[in-house]
């Protein structure tokens, strides 16, 4: 009799918890939606896609505004955005896969990866430094040639590295953080040198296919990016939003550091693939999610209090809060955020087609709501 009563009591508690959970989820949806409706109040203007998942299940998915002002196409959960620097984590995972296979080591020096560059300091810069933005290398890409900055590929963009000298290093490798695009562009050459496959083929076979990301693709000049959004910026002189991506913004054509186009739904598949060990072993994932350097207030990109950088990911460890692993992306009008709390299996992504927003202000407000609901 007692066991029967206990069973009934447990069922009643479960039902009550379920009801509370449903009510709390409704509160989350309402409050998060209010935040984004305030920012994207005009459905005829550039918009955004937002997706929140818990335990692999979608608890919030909303889209706002336009993906393309010329065609009038709305943003949808399957709209591809240029995710800009969020692309770096994919290149980092590819390189960590090669480490797992024994083809590379985190201590492999650049002098071995690029033997054609014979400067002695390349012996002191390792794969670890490239992945954690601690190489000390400058970003010496030329900005004087407009055609170059608009069309330069990964290989062309890092050509300056062949001519650097010891005095060009900004600090001793491993001693400081400075966010660097060219060092991630190097992955475009490192991957084929150690895998035997060109970069695009390797990423498709060993990253996107494994994650089930069927509609994800790298930008290619001259190829129509079907189902993709454009980025926009506000132009005071014209009193309207104007297109601001390839052809208007510099260094848009490089792939390994920022040229990936994907949707929030495809990106959610990536997050599950990472969590389920489909693309990286747990030990490699842990290294990627571990801060190898802490950002200081004078950091050139990405500073937030209590934030460090791992391998292709920022890590926020605010006292009293669970660890948030994330990355931001900015290119042209695209403004991107993709974050997760691994210990609670929460993911939150926010892809925007305009850049006149307070991204981190929005993000921090949404996390507060999420943490109040998902314990």
Domain membership of residue 151 (yes or no) is yes
Domain membership of residue 9 (yes or no) is no
Domain membership of residue 271 (yes or no) is yes
The encoded tokens of residue 10 equal 């447990």
Q: Count how many domains the chain has.
A: 1
Q: Radius of gyration of the chain from Cα atoms? A: 22
CB 194 within 8 A of CB 100: no
pLDDT digits (tens, 9 = 90+) for 294-328: 999 999 999 999 999 999 999 999 999 999 999 99
Q: What is the pLDDT of residue 52?
A: 98
Domain membership of residue 13 (yes or no) is no
Q: What is the pLDDT of residue 222?
A: 55
Q: What is the pLDDT of residue 18?
A: 37
pTM of the model: 0.93
Q: What is the pLDDT of residue 348?
A: 98
The tens-digit pLDDT sequence of the chain (375 residues) is 333 333 333 333 333 333 348 899 999 999 999 999 999 999 999 999 999 999 999 999 999 999 999 999 999 999 999 999 999 999 999 999 999 999 999 999 999 999 999 999 999 999 999 999 999 999 999 888 888 888 889 999 999 999 999 999 999 999 999 999 999 999 999 999 999 999 999 999 999 999 999 999 998 865 667 789 999 999 999 999 999 887 777 777 899 999 999 999 999 999 999 999 999 999 999 999 999 999 999 999 999 999 999 999 999 999 999 999 999 999 999 999 999 999 999 999 999 999 999 999 999 999 999 999 998
Q: What is the pLDDT of residue 147?
A: 83
Q: What is the pLDDT of residue 170?
A: 98
Domain of 190 in residue numbering reads as 34-222+232-373
Q: What is the pLDDT of residue 186?
A: 98
Domain membership of residue 24 (yes or no) is no
Domain membership of residue 362 (yes or no) is yes
The encoded tokens of residue 198 equal 């060109």
Q: What is the pLDDT of residue 224?
A: 64
Q: What is the pLDDT of residue 5?
A: 37
CATH of the domain at 325: 3.40.710.10
Beta bridge partners of 51: 61, 349
**Residue 306: partners with Cβ closer than 8 Å, 6 or more residues away:** 316, 317, 318, 319
Kindly list the distances between the CA atom of residue 51 and the CA atoms of 13, 30, 180, 210, in Å, as whole numbers in the listed order: 30, 14, 28, 21
Domain membership of residue 358 (yes or no) is yes
């Amino acid at each position: 009799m007692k066991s029967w009563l206990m069973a009934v009591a447990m069922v009643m508690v479960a039902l009550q918890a379920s009801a509370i959970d449903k009510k709390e989820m409704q509160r989350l949806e309402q409050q998060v939606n209010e935040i984004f409706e305030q920012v994207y109040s005009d459905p005829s203007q550039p918009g955004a896609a937002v997706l929140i998942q818990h335990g692999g299940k979608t608890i919030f998915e909303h889209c706002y505004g336009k993906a393309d002002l010329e065609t009038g196409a709305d943003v949808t959960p399957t709209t591809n955005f240029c995710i800009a620097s969020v692309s770096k984590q994919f290149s980092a995972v590819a390189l960590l896969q090669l480490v797992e296979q024994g083809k590379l080591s985190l201590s492999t020096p650049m002098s071995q990866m690029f033997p054609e560059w014979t400067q002695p300091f390349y012996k002191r810069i390792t794969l670890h430094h490239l992945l954690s933005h601690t190489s000390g290398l400058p970003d010496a890409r030329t900005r004087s040639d407009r055609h170059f900055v608009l069309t330069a590929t990964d290989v062309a963009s890092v050509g300056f590295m062949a001519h650097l000298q010891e005095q060009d290093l900004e600090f001793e490798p491993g001693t400081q953080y400075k966010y660097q695009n060219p060092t991630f562009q190097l992955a475009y050459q490192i991957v084929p040198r150690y895998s035997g496959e060109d970069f695009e083929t390797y990423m498709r076979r060993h990253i996107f296919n494994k994650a089930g990301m069927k509609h994800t693709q790298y930008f290619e000049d001259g190829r129509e990016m079907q189902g993709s959004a454009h980025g926009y910026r506000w132009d005071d002189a014209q009193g309207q939003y104007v297109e601001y991506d390839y052809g208007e913004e510099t260094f848009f054509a490089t792939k390994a550091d920022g040229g990936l186009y994907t949707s929030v739904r495809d990106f959610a598949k990536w997050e599950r693939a990472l969590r389920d060990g489909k693309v990286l072993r747990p030990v490699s994932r842990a290294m990627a999610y571990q801060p190898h350097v802490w950002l200081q207030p004078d950091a050139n990109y990405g500073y937030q209090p209590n934030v460090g950088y791992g391998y292709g990911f920022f890590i926020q460890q605010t006292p009293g809060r669970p660890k948030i692993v994330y990355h931001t992306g900015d290119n042209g009008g695209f403004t991107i955020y993709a974050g997760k709390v691994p210990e609670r299996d929460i993911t939150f992504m926010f892809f925007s087609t305009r850049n006149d927003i307070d991204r981190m202000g929005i993000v921090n407000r949404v996390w507060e709501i999420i943490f109040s609901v998902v314990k």
